[in-house]
């Protein structure tokens, strides 16, 4: 499961629905399956936060990925509790 939050907006999806997260000059773009794109414009978003968001889906393959677009210090958190890890 992937959760993306920005203020009061919360978007939840299965991990397979997120194709990639791309950095843009003024934010990030979440490319989703079925041709959907979620564009986040934030001119104050630091480059380090964008890079962390764009690389996290491929680095952390287990657990829930929580992306908070308003939190520049910890934009990505991984929930690895027993209930959230799918067993193969």
Residue 87 burial (C-beta neighbours within 10 Å; 0-12, 13-18, 19+): exposed
Q: How confident is the model at residue 82 (pLDDT cuts 50, 70, 90)?
A: low
Q: Return the percentage of the chain with pLDDT > 90, whole number.
A: 75
Among residues 44, 38, 41, which one has the least CA distance to residue 27?
41
pLDDT over 60 (residue 84): no
Per-residue pLDDT, averaged over 50-76, amounts to 89
Q: Residue with structure tokens 């934009």?
A: 75
Q: How far is CA 35 from the centre of its chain?
A: 17
Per-residue pLDDT, averaged over 4-13, amounts to 94
Compute the half-sphere exposure of residue 31: CA atoms within 13 Å on the CB side of its CA: 8
Query: What does the domain layout of the chain look like in residue ranges?
Result: 2-84
């Amino acid at each position: 499961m992937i959760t993306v939050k920005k203020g009061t907006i919360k978007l939840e999806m299965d991990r397979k629905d997120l194709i990639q997260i791309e950095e843009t000059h003024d934010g990030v773009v979440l490319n989703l399956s079925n041709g959907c794109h979620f564009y986040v414009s934030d001119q104050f978003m630091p480059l380090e936060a964008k890079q962390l968001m764009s690389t996290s889906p491929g680095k952390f393959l287990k657990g829930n990925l929580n992306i908070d677009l308003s939190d520049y210090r910890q934009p990505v958190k991984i929930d690895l509790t027993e209930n959230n890890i799918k067993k193969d």
